[in-house]
Amino acid sequence: MILVVGIRKIPVSSIYNSTYGAAENLLSPANSSQPHNNNNYKTEYMVMTGGISNVYMSNKARVRKNTGVGETYNVRALQKVTCDLCGKEVSRHCYLPTHQTKKSCRDKRAEYTAPEPALEPTDDSEDELKTVVAREPVLCEVSMPGSLTTVQCPSINCTYVSNDRNKMRNHFAQCHIGDRIKIQQEGLLPQCNRCGFCSTTVLTAKHLATKKCADLTKRRLNLCRLRKQLRVVAKNFIFKVGDNLIKKVRQFKYLGRIVDDSDKDDSAIDRSIQRARGVWARLGKLLAREDANPIAMGIFYKVIVQSVLLYGSESWVITKSKMVQLRSFHRRCARHITRTHIRQEEDGTWIHPSSEGVLEEAGLRTIEEYIQKRRDTVEAFAATRPLYEACSNSTPLKSRNHAVWWNQVHFSQNDENENVHGD
């Protein structure tokens, strides 16, 4: 867990109007009792949790998987929930993440006071997840006399049924991580101290070399990290300036970059695209009025617009969806520069100019190349530092598939053809 404490510049009537003045006053207990002190108003803090690891299946999802009864993901995604940032009701998974990046949501945040900020992910299974993660391992006992008798899983609220003992043990190791099962007819079998599977062969080298043992071991390690994470997050951190509480926020702007408590750079990328879109809207009209040629417009784009678009991109962790958005904006600008837009002919057919040809005519390269050039500068400096080596050898807190910067330094353009006609 990383704790970020920041001081935001907000115009106030006191003499402590600058960031440095606020910082000095924050560190001076004697000054905190002054009646004109507004540091508690200017100061905000954020607890960065890194997100919740996806290692647990809720009861609703398990019932749906085992019996086919219950709401599907698509149905639950359309359910209305209240945004914990602005109070508006929106669809849970379909629109909530996008809504929280909108200006309408940001404008209402100052007026709205949420009852209590929710942990990621904002889902019905959150309370259940915290309960399961926090409790101690449980030994569950069940009787399975033979293959003709179907038995339900002994874990509470689990709907899984089977007449095969090995399948029941396998289900327990996969779905009830950390718990242990005892089948009365077999007694208490040895349990693998790595993957948690119970069998007579778990202590052999053959079992330890299996893919099933390796996969279950990774899931158990993720659960252990999640337990440690939630124990820390569960603590109620409170910061004060004198006797006044400091406001807790989920996002914070530092040196022009948005820092998010989920340890994701999506908000920073969205903000850069939004700002670059505004700059290009003004610059593009000016260049069009001057009838500038494509090469000249491309130079203006790289110098002015791209410096805004890629500000801070050296340290971005870019997901595939965000790379699609960056690539789409870059190509739209190139089409505007060359005046070769996607258009529909009179006969109804659509004309899609080649993105590669449009970029070449405008004197531009792919957006991946510009980002990679910026990253190479930082990598040359960071690669010689012990911290870089320590990070490269570390395991992400969220999961083994969690994207991190040091594994994303060099971009792969295998998905270059994705969304070719969608930008």
For 200, the 3-state DSSP assignment is coil
Q: Indicate the pTM of the whole model.
A: 0.65
Q: Which residues, 6 or more positions from 48, have their beta carbon under 8 angstroms from its beta carbon?
A: 1, 2, 3, 4, 259, 260, 261, 262, 263
Burial of 202 (0-12, 13-18, 19+ CB in 10 A): buried
Q: Is residue 356 part of a domain?
A: yes
Q: Are 262 and 328 in contact (CB under 8 A)?
A: no
**Where in the sequence is the domain holding 371, given as residue range(s)?**
264-422
Q: Is residue 336 part of a domain?
A: yes
Q: Distance between CA 136 and CA 140 in Å, rounded?
A: 13
Which residue type, as a one-letter code, is found at position 36? H
pLDDT reported for residue 407:
76
Q: Is residue 370 part of a domain?
A: yes
Q: Where are the alpha helices (DSSP H) in 27-58?
A: 39-42
Q: Distance between CA 347 and CA 271 in Å, rounded?
A: 39
Q: Is residue 408 part of a domain?
A: yes
Total domains in the chain come to 1
Q: Which two tokens stand for residue 179?
A: 């718990």
pLDDT reported for residue 126:
47
pLDDT reported for residue 32:
40
Residue in 250, 269, 311 with CA at minimum distance from that of residue 106: 250
CA dihedral sign, ordered 296, 302, 304, 306: positive
Q: Is residue 305 part of a domain?
A: yes
CA distances from 192 to 168, 210, 211, 220 (A): 16, 12, 14, 11
Q: Is residue 386 part of a domain?
A: yes
Which residue is associated with the tokens 């910082």? 23
* Count, residues in the chain: 423
Q: CB count, 10 Å around CB of 377? A: 10
Q: Is residue 348 part of a domain?
A: yes
Q: Distance between CA 401 and CA 397 in Å, rounded?
A: 10
Q: What dihedral do alpha carbons 99, 105, 109, 112 form, nearest 10°?
A: -80
Q: Is residue 24 part of a domain?
A: no
Q: Where are the alpha helices (DSSP H) in 47-140?
A: 59-67, 73-77, 96-99, 103-108, 126-134
Q: Phi/psi of residue 260, each to 5°?
A: -110, 145
Which residue is associated with the tokens 């200006």? 103
From first to last of its 423 residues, what are the pLDDT tens digits of the chain? 444 444 444 333 322 233 333 333 333 333 444 444 555 667 788 877 665 555 556 667 767 776 777 788 788 878 888 887 888 888 877 778 778 777 788 788 778 876 654 444 444 444 444 454 555 778 889 999 887 888 888 887 788 888 898 888 888 888 887 788 899 988 889 888 888 888 888 888 889 899 988 888 887 777 777 766 666 665 567 777 777 888 888 788 888 888 887 778 888 998 999 999 999 999 988 988 888 899 999 999 999 999 999 999 998 989 888 999 999 999 999 999 999 888 888 888 888 888 999 999 999 999 999 999 999 888 888 888 898 888 888 766 555 556 778 777 666 555 454 443 334
